[in-house]
Amino acid sequence: MPIAEYAVRLALYEAEQALSGLVQNLPNRCAALLLHVVMFPLGKRESAPKDKLVHQVAADMQQHGETLERLTRFRFHPQGDVEKADEPLAVLKPAMEAVRQTSKLEQALRKAEAKGRLTAEKPSAKISEAVEKGLIPAEQDDQVREARCLVKIAITVDGFDMDLNEANPKPFEFRMF
């Protein structure tokens, strides 16, 4: 139950921080000192969740298993088609799976780039260069491109007017996009 432990530890830590902040900001210093002694007789005892626990929770969330399904069972399930990419949430699950499948290839690309073995500017050109230099198998370059495309669709924000260069003649009028 690492997620429950994480949630409880974080809630207790944040509650202690909030109470401490309240006491510190009291205008009456005598009352603040008295409340501090009453509320924290042994001092502050809670700490933020440890990194090991945070990493375990993150790993659990990235494994499309029982934990993730249990936590997201009441979320909105889009009816959009993944192929048409008309609904970013419909692409989320395939994008996570594609990222998981290409993680070793992406790691190889990052290492090669850090060592200066890839000189191309554009990401798609870097993939082609990596294939030419034998850093990643030629039959898997489409897999990397597809994963990157799905991620781009999943994280694209489209909740604003795309015509940012045009002045709005009626700035206080509600506009449907």
pLDDT of residue 174: 47
pLDDT of residue 71: 82
pLDDT of residue 176: 44
User: Which residues does the chain have with pLDDT short of 70?
Assistant: 80-88, 157-177
In this structure, the dihedral spanned by the alpha carbons of residues 138, 142, 145 and 151, taken in order and rounded to 10 degrees, is -130
**Percentage of the chain exceeding pLDDT 70:** 82
pTM above 0.85, yes or no: no
What is the C-alpha to C-alpha distance for residues 158 and 40, in angstroms, rounded to an integer?
47
Please give the full DSSP string across 43-59, using - where no structure is assigned.
-----PPPHHHHHHHHH
What is the C-alpha to C-alpha distance for residues 166 and 173, in angstroms, rounded to an integer?
15
pLDDT of residue 177: 39
